[in-house]
Chain A
Amino acid sequence: MKKLFLYIFLAVTSIITLIPFIWMISASFMPDGKASVYPPVFIPTEFVLDQYLNLLTRLSVARSFLNSILLSTLVTFFSLFFNSMAGYAFAKYRFSGKSKLFNLLLVNMIVPSQVTMLPLFLILKSVGLINTYFAILVTGLANIFGIFLIRQHCMAIPDSLIEAARMDGATDFQIYRKVILPLAVPVLVTLGIITFLGTWNDFLWPLIALTDDSMYTLPVALSSLMLEHTKDPELMMAGSVITIIPVIIVFLVLQRYYIKGIMMGSVKE
């Protein structure tokens, strides 16, 4: 009895949680005006792809989609490369200034990124890099949280493995590439998915740094589309579906790693 009640409660609350998505998907397949009716319809009576075709051909959402894919991939690749090298160095090397540098980075984790945006805009503008991919890329090249995560992971790698590789004549970079990176794959996947989704979903900085609609990422393109289409829920829902579906797919495939990332100390958004 108690068990049945529990199941019903969980099922109902799950449906309530998912209803915005259900409505979003169904409205995105309706012709103009069909989502603005009372009472609301949850299954389209007439199933059309008009909104998607409109977004991808007439409005430059296809371009924004490519921008988002490209930028998220580039940021993920570079930040994994830079963070893993730095994390490894902090875990396994002794050098002067190590603890000072480490503490300096640690202290900076509490600075909200909004603080950097005004000067960063001016710096990039003065060298002509506003409204380029570079403007988004540079803010994600490395991040302190990622360096810490990889450092934690590398500290657990036994010194004897590194020692043995060194005996065999491996250079420092070969050790990093052939010994450390393969052992760090789980934490790299975790960090990779967090970075990819974080870049994909990011809004404020791309809104500031990308000024031309051919450069927009999906969230910026959606927000600008919303200004002209406040009365077109069908079109806006199709835009939301295009933005959200890739995120959900990536998450479903790699959710185990993502959840682990949360446990390892908060995903920074």
Chain B
Amino acid sequence: MKDSYSYSYSSKAAYFFLAPAVIAIFIFFFIPVISAFIMSFTDFDIYALGNFDTVRFIGLRNYVQLFEDPLFWQSLQNTAYYVVLATPLSITVSLGAAILLNSKLIKYIGFFRLSYFIPYITTLVAVAIVWRFIYHPKFGILNYFLGLFGVNPIDWLGDPNLAMPAIVLMSVWKTFGYNMIIFLAGLQNIPEDLYEAASLEGANEWQKFKAITIPMLAPTTLFVSIITIVSYFQLFAEPYIMTQGGPLNKTLSIVGYMYQEGFRWWNMGYSASISFVLFFIIMVVTILQFKLQKNRLA
């Protein structure tokens, strides 16, 4: 719709309406982002906290140090492992749930949808605490149920090889409902007559799924994958509550390491450089999405 000419004179009013939000975003978002970028080239540490004069520019030294820091590589590797494990799992579960709920056969969809979705809106810290007890090796309900099938007790959060998979399981439980809602909307946009035509040709359910559902959902799947990856890269509260980054630093995440360096040891310059590595990763993922979407349209 075209703006009507009569509003063009009232730009003063527009600035008045924009000012509160824009000033707030400028002071509490733009300036900190730029400051963080500058900080990442300084040796800002606990002494600088008392006296800003001790801060010196050290060029790229923080980034060079990151490159040689085994703990940083560990956190990067842990986070990547988490993302690689959790993303496909989350997408499979949420797509499966969406397809089930989209079935014409069943009633009470609202109830089932609600129970799948509830974990998503609940407070992450609170459910991480609940899951910490669920994973308890002796009294946890997970080992109890597995015990019914003859599985011996497992020390989920105490075993360096199992702690991250355990966090993945909890995260997928917590977030699949969100992706499910987006998939449901995508499924409802697929024209019904495509399926009817395929049925007339004698296609079975699996063939219809492969030939119609998967390709028609491709844009939705791409969108869901990207937002899932971006949010999973920001992993923090789950390990903070459930494992404190342990055992053997196997659940230390990028944001966890940034928090530890910045707000426990007050190496804020170094911490700022970690936050920019996170920013860089998220930027690359997002740009990749735009590229893929464009290719799709072209």
- Interfacial residues, chain A to chain B (CB-CB below 8 A): 2-3, 6-7, 9-10, 13-14, 17-21, 23-24, 27, 35-40, 81-83, 85-86, 88-90, 92-96, 98, 101, 105, 108, 110-112, 114-123, 138-139, 141-144, 147, 155, 159, 162-163, 166, 172-173, 176, 197, 200-201, 203-204, 208, 218-220, 222-223, 226, 233, 236-237, 239-240, 243-244, 247-248, 251, 255, 258-259, 262-263, 266-267, 269
**Cβ-based interface call for B286 (8 A):** yes
Query: Known interface pairs A93-B10, A239-B126. Does A142 touch B3 (Cβ–Cβ under 8 Å)?
Result: no
Contacts of B297 in A (CB 8 A): none
Q: Are A93 and B14 in contact (CB under 8 A)?
A: yes
- Closest 10 CB pairs between A and B? A119-B35, A95-B11, A93-B14, A142-B21, A172-B13, A116-B32, A86-B21, A219-B125, A89-B17, A141-B24
* Min distance, Cβ B282 to any Cβ of chain A, angstroms: 6
Query: Is the Cβ of A37 less than 8 Å from the Cβ of B231?
Result: no
Q: B229 within 8 Å of A by Cβ?
A: no
Which stretch from B66-74, B137-145, B208-216 is at the chain A interface? B137-145
B124 touches A203 (CB 8 A): yes
Cβ of B112: which chain A residues have Cβ within 8 Å of it? 10, 14
Chain B 247-272 against A: per-residue CB contact (8 Å), 1 yes, 0 no? 00000000100110011000010011
Would you give the shortest CB distance from B112 to chain A, in whole angstroms? Answer: 5
State the total of A-B contacts with C-beta under 8 angstroms. 264
Instruction: Note all chain A residues with C-beta closer than 8 A to B255.
Output: 114, 204
Say how far B293's CB is from chain A's closest CB, in angstroms. 14
Q: Is B182 an interface residue (CB 8 A)?
A: yes
Q: Is the CB of B278 within 8 A of A115?
A: yes
Q: For window 104-123 of chain B, which residues contact chain A by CB distance below 8 Å?
A: 105-106, 111-112, 114-116, 118-119, 121-123
20 A-B residue contacts at CB 8 Å?
A: A13-B97, A18-B115, A20-B127, A20-B130, A23-B130, A27-B133, A89-B17, A93-B13, A111-B29, A114-B255, A115-B275, A117-B262, A118-B262, A163-B4, A204-B255, A239-B129, A244-B122, A244-B123, A248-B121, A263-B181
**Interface contact B279-A201, CB-CB below 8 Å:** no
B195 is an interface residue with CB less than 8 A from chain A: no
B118 & A115 in contact (Cβ 8 Å cutoff): no
Q: State A2–B205 Cα separation when bound (angstroms).
A: 13
User: Is B14 touching A105 in the complex (CB atoms < 8 A)?
Assistant: no
What separation, in Å, do the CA atoms of A8 and B181 have in the docked complex?
21
Asked if B204 CB lies within 8 Å of chain A CBs, one says no
Bound-complex Cα distance A25 to B189 (A): 39
Closest to B279 in A: A115
Beyond A17-B115, A85-B18, A116-B29, 7 extra complex contacts between A and B, CB < 8 Å: A17-B116, A89-B17, A94-B11, A108-B25, A141-B20, A142-B25, A251-B118
Identify whether the interface residues of B are mostly helix, strand, loop, or mixed.
Answer: helix
Does any Cβ of A come within 8 Å of B194's Cβ? no
B206 CB–A CB distance under 8 Å? no
B181 touches A159 (CB 8 A): no
B20 touches A142 (CB 8 A): yes
Contacts A115-B278, A248-B121 given: A89-B18 contact, CB under 8 Å? yes
